[in-house]
């Protein structure tokens, strides 16, 4: 096993590694292309799509990602079909972020695969750990949400604005808070109204919040 293989093994196992040890991955960063994407005209769909295909690890059909967005690498992000990402979406993608089909993300969201040790002696040379994030199909994430390393958000779930998601969220759930917790399931009763009883305004430009289970978060 080479030194690089040993570092990659530690990264993929969620163990600590340093900036210097991981520097061999820097050619995978897409900073210049991300800058170029954020500088394109909003109506230049052809150029934006071409850049997005070069930046991301994979990208599905009918993807909308508004400028600006930010990514540590870009190449570790995989997005499915019919994705909508609003402004100031940040991917801290030292390892993979996988996003399914039909996902909506409101403004100011951060998806971070990486954290740091608590003790300062262990943070020399930006020592850190990384764990992948998975967002399953048809999830809706509200404004200013932070999703932390290793989290999986299940199919169809709604994350209220301002939440910090530090643990897995099961499918078809409304979850909100710091730390984010499930407040109720999504059921067929939610088919009868445009705005469910425990969810705020609807649409990719807005964000979910609470009405019946504590203060609104939207």
Exposed, middle or buried: residue 92 (CB in 10 Å: 0-12, 13-18, 19+)?
Answer: buried
Does 81 reside within a domain?
Answer: yes
Does 110 reside within a domain?
Answer: yes
Q: What is the pLDDT of residue 218?
A: 37
Contact (CB, 8 A) for 204 and 106: yes
CA distance 147 to 140: 13
Does 198 reside within a domain?
Answer: no
- What is the number of structural domains in the chain? 1
Q: What angle do CA 139, 140, 145 make, to 5 degrees?
A: 115
Annotate 62-79 with three-state secondary structure: CCEECCCEEECCECCEEE
**50-87 burial string, b = 16+ CB within 10 Å, else e?**
ebbeebbbebbeebebbeebebbbbbbbbbbebbbbbe
* Domain CATH number, residue 57: 2.160.10.10
- At residue 174, φ and ψ (nearest 5 deg) are -100, 125
Indicate the SS3 state at residue 114.
strand
Does 210 reside within a domain?
Answer: no
User: The pTM is what?
Assistant: 0.88
Contact (CB, 8 A) for 174 and 199: yes
Residues 6 or more apart in contact with residue 25 via CB below 8 angstroms: 73
Q: Which tokens hold the place of 72? A: 């540590």
Q: What is the pLDDT of residue 193?
A: 75
Q: What is the pLDDT of residue 197?
A: 54
Does 76 reside within a domain?
Answer: yes
Exposed, middle or buried: residue 41 (CB in 10 Å: 0-12, 13-18, 19+)?
Answer: exposed
What pairs with residue 135 in β-bridges? 99, 153
Does 200 reside within a domain?
Answer: no
Exposed, middle or buried: residue 194 (CB in 10 Å: 0-12, 13-18, 19+)?
Answer: exposed
Does 216 reside within a domain?
Answer: no
Per-residue pLDDT of the chain (218 residues; tens, 9 = 90+): 679 999 999 999 999 999 999 999 999 999 999 999 999 999 999 999 999 999 999 999 999 999 999 999 999 999 999 999 999 999 999 999 999 999 999 999 999 999 999 999 999 999 999 999 999 999 999 999 999 999 999 999 999 999 999 999 999 999 999 999 999 999 999 988 766 555 443 344 555 554 433 333 33
Indicate the SS3 state at residue 37.
helix
Catalytic residues: 116
Run of H or E residues at 48: helix 45-55
Residue 112 lies in domain: 3-191
């Amino acid at each position: 096993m080479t030194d690089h293989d040993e570092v990659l093994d530690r990264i993929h196992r969620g163990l600590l590694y340093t900036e210097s040890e991981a520097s061999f991955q820097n050619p995978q960063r897409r900073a210049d292309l991300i800058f170029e994407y954020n500088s394109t005209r909003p109506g230049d769909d052809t150029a934006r799509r071409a850049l997005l295909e070069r930046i991301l690890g994979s990208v599905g059909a009918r993807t909308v990602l508004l400028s600006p967005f930010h990514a540590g690498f870009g190449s570790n992000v995989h997005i499915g079909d019919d994705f909508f990402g609003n402004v100031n979406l940040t991917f801290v993608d030292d390892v993979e972020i996988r996003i399914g089909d039909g996902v909506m993300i409101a403004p100011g969201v951060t998806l971070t695969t990486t954290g740091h040790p608590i003790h300062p002696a262990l943070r020399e040379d930006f020592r850190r750990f990384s764990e992948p994030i998975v967002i399953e199909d048809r999830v809706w994430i509200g404004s200013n949400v932070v999703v932390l390393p290793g989290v999986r958000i299940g199919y169809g779930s709604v994350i209220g604005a301002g939440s910090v998601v530090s643990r897995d969220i099961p499918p078809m759930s409304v979850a909100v808070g710091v730390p984010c917790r499930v407040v109720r399931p999504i059921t067929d009763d939610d088919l009868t109204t445009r705005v469910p009883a425990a969810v705020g305004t609807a649409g990719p430009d807005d964000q979910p919040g609470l009405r019946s289970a504590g203060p609104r978060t939207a």
